[in-house]
Structure 1
């Protein structure tokens, strides 16, 4: 078993070097070119908190300035790095039946100065909170799944406030865009970049936008997009709410099909689908309403579906089930890679941090895909387990006691300077 891990570790190392060699070409100067490799290695490390300080200490730097410069001031284009990551994913996880999954995630924040923050609904918190929201694009195939692209949602309270835009470094070319509009741009960029895909999946926030569905049909990409129970669809007998259609379905219309494998077994639901011939438009193709029923609670979920060619119910169910892969990616990147631990307020720094987290996650997904089959009694290696092994076997630096002591001195000196400043400020106003 250990021998198999050693063989895989060499393959993991080769993949890591391949990805980093590609990304490094986006940097002109040697300092950021070296640091980006150390930065991604720090994201992969089991640090209790991920920020420029802890990552710099892990890399053996004398202080955090170099990592802060990489994220905030160095000259490099995060969009080009994400394009490199997309090409890396296409080469290692690409499949003609690939699925693009769109969803947003929120990062809770205090204060009002972090770019994009305002009180808004966060699915992460399940309520209205002070937070940032970002739309992510994930790629799922039979080989694995990973995040590949991102767009920060900028509310009107930001786009229409020149002072806030200037303070956060928001480019003049960035205007207000809804989350479905951001999703359209991400999908179009992935398709133009050659990422092999046949389907798009998303929740109600995206299924409720008819312009997104129209754009996907124009790209000839099938979709399975969740819609609300109040969504109205045209049938041969008229236009009805989706919940009304579900109520009138006969018993034989339902089929029990697994929406995918889970940690505790297959995720079986009852499914039904109805052809919607009156929904046809200039893009031709085939429209369906897909309905999912929970076997225990009877709770219903609804999806608008389209494909350039006819497909079986099982195919639509597979796409609907793969939408949850992006939730797994969010969990992996937040708990293991520090996606939501950034301490940056400005537009450029936020995108750079997020881009390097996406690169780290794509590497883990690709490395998991090339791992040898596990022997009986072991599940196949997961992204989270691979991250632990990769750090222990490949990345863990030979730490010197002098490095540990030097960083202790650096932190205490910084804290002393801060303490002096606080006391001096207080002395100006207090007796």
Structure 2
């Protein structure tokens, strides 16, 4: 049996737990075809090229299955979470929260707007998806992709209706709010992980950080260099008497300063957090215990809207060899070593690797439909395809029952397939 036939045959049996939730025979037949089309050879992974490769006579049925068919995605979502948890879940795992942009040329695709796209490092015409990635031992499994709707869409009900956006989502929701909702869904599904990691796009939000703590989670998040923090030993005391009488709100005995200023005189250590393909990955790190200025707002030093000290956490700085400087907050315990802090912070890179593979090799950004339902179904099926490939790699790495039969790697089985010729 050829390698290609081997993985296609195994895909059908591996998908059975998903297919049990698709009760219509046509859907049970279309799902494996679409997933195989995402995994298999071919430069484009949009509907028409997939149909041409895997089901030339069934384009209409494949289109109906992905774009308009009245089936519920929730059971497949739940199965994805359960299988991902079995593969890479556990207290040693991390959950990375991020977003990824799908570049577009037109203006009709749901959620498309001029907004920041990390893939090009600037604003671009794109869709933006909030992502959650479960990872363990540097093995990522993306488990959530949810579209963010910019305010230009939220203010246009006719546009929302035309794109088939459910009315539940016709309200403004920030990316941190979407991420928190999905995080709670993931936790309720029983997905297990030891810490949450994210960049400054989410870490800048005080309600987001506070919600993570309220959920009992350990976390490490990026922050801007100007994030205000207090010394860990700051104390609240009575304010000076004023003409109007004593103030009731206690005030801190130290002033909040920017994160970069707090670390300016710290001792920086060169830390190696892992070995990459080109050698050890190193940077200089420093850390100090602080209390974040995200408590209740008061009037301080004659200025209104100043924040009192919040929880005590780690403030971590990173000086990269490129000269770039980054700053982070983490609620890991006070006895955590600098190397442990650095390792958790830098573990976020696995989601960037996963995003790249989802797009370049499985066609996440190739979907040409314009609807909310079609985009999210395409994204879900792309996640299922990625999980299948990680399942094969994991079995090969641990010497599974089919030892000796080479499982397809991402580059073997996707757009740059060894079988494409």
TM-score interval (norm. to shorter): 0.7 to 0.9
Residue range with higher mean Cα deviation, 78-87 or 96-105:
78-87
| Secondary structure at 2:365 match in 1 | coil
Query: Given that residues 19 and 88 in structure 1 are in contact (C-alpha distance below 8 angstroms), is that contact kept between their aligned partners in structure 2?
Result: no
317 and 382 in structure 1: CA distance in 2 versus 1, 3 angstrom threshold: farther
Query: Given that residues 102 and 135 in structure 1 are in contact (C-alpha distance below 8 angstroms), is that contact kept between their aligned partners in structure 2?
Result: yes
Alpha-carbon distance, 1:143 to partner: 6.4
389 and 26 in structure 1: CA distance in 2 versus 1, 3 angstrom threshold: same
Alpha-carbon distance, 1:345 to partner: 0.3
Alpha-carbon distance between aligned partners in 2 of 1:179 and 1:240, rounded to the nearest angstrom: 27
| Secondary structure at 1:121 match in 2 | strand
16 and 176 in structure 1: CA distance in 2 versus 1, 3 angstrom threshold: same
Alpha-carbon distance, 1:85 to partner: 0.8
Alpha-carbon distance between aligned partners in 2 of 1:156 and 1:163, rounded to the nearest angstrom: 14
1:212 aligns with 2:205: no
Q: 2:223 aligns with which of 227, 232, 239?
A: 227
Task: Summarize the alignment of residues 275-424 of structure 1 with structure 2, pairs less than 5 Å apart.
Answer: 275-276=289-290, 287-294=313-320, 296-307=321-332, 310-372=335-397, 383-385=409-411, 387=413
Q: Please name the residue that 1:428 is paired with.
A: none
Alpha-carbon distance, 1:112 to partner: 1.9
- The CA deviation string for residues 306-351 of structure 1, in whole angstroms up to 9 with x for no partner, is 1367433222222111101111011101110000000010110010
Alpha-carbon distance, 1:241 to partner: 0.7
Q: Please name the residue that 2:263 is paired with.
A: 246
Alpha-carbon distance between aligned partners in 2 of 1:280 and 1:155, rounded to the nearest angstrom: 26
Query: Given that residues 315 and 329 in structure 2 are in contact (C-alpha distance below 8 angstroms), is that contact kept between their aligned partners in structure 1?
Result: yes
The number of equivalent residue pairs is 378
Q: 2:282 aligns with which of 268, 272, 275?
A: 268
| Secondary structure at 2:263 match in 1 | helix
Query: Given that residues 19 and 85 in structure 1 are in contact (C-alpha distance below 8 angstroms), is that contact kept between their aligned partners in structure 2?
Result: no
Instruction: Give 1 or 2: higher helix fraction.
Output: 1
Alpha-carbon distance between aligned partners in 1 of 2:74 and 2:317, rounded to the nearest angstrom: 37
Alpha-carbon distance between aligned partners in 2 of 1:273 and 1:194, rounded to the nearest angstrom: 33
Alpha-carbon distance between aligned partners in 2 of 1:332 and 1:226, rounded to the nearest angstrom: 24
Alpha-carbon distance between aligned partners in 2 of 1:193 and 1:285, rounded to the nearest angstrom: 29
Query: Given that residues 35 and 385 in structure 2 are in contact (C-alpha distance below 8 angstroms), is that contact kept between their aligned partners in structure 1?
Result: yes
Q: 2:155 aligns with which of 157, 160, 165?
A: 160
The CA RMSD measured in Å over matched residues stands at 3.0
58 and 278 in structure 1: CA distance in 2 versus 1, 3 angstrom threshold: closer
Query: Given that residues 286 and 310 in structure 1 are in contact (C-alpha distance below 8 angstroms), is that contact kept between their aligned partners in structure 2?
Result: no
| Secondary structure at 1:247 match in 2 | coil
Q: 1:27 aligns with which of 19, 22, 26?
A: 22
Q: 1:184 aligns with which of 180, 204, 226?
A: 180
Q: 1:259 aligns with which of 268, 273, 281?
A: 273
Query: Given that residues 221 and 308 in structure 1 are in contact (C-alpha distance below 8 angstroms), is that contact kept between their aligned partners in structure 2?
Result: no
Alpha-carbon distance, 1:213 to partner: 0.6
349 and 278 in structure 1: CA distance in 2 versus 1, 3 angstrom threshold: closer
Alpha-carbon distance, 1:57 to partner: 2.1
- The CA deviation string for residues 55-94 of structure 1, in whole angstroms up to 9 with x for no partner, is 1122233141111011112222223312211111111112
Q: 2:82 aligns with which of 77, 87, 91?
A: 87
Alpha-carbon distance between aligned partners in 2 of 1:258 and 1:381, rounded to the nearest angstrom: 32
| Secondary structure at 1:266 match in 2 | strand
Alpha-carbon distance between aligned partners in 1 of 2:113 and 2:328, rounded to the nearest angstrom: 30
| Secondary structure at 2:209 match in 1 | helix
Alpha-carbon distance between aligned partners in 1 of 2:140 and 2:311, rounded to the nearest angstrom: 27
Q: Please name the residue that 1:116 is paired with.
A: 111
| Secondary structure at 1:221 match in 2 | coil
Alpha-carbon distance, 1:160 to partner: 2.1
Query: Given that residues 95 and 133 in structure 2 are in contact (C-alpha distance below 8 angstroms), is that contact kept between their aligned partners in structure 1?
Result: yes
Q: 2:11 aligns with which of 8, 16, 31?
A: 16
Where structure 2 has 5 or more consecutive residues not aligned to the other structure, the ranges are 235-253, 296-309, 400-405
Q: Please name the residue that 1:412 is paired with.
A: none
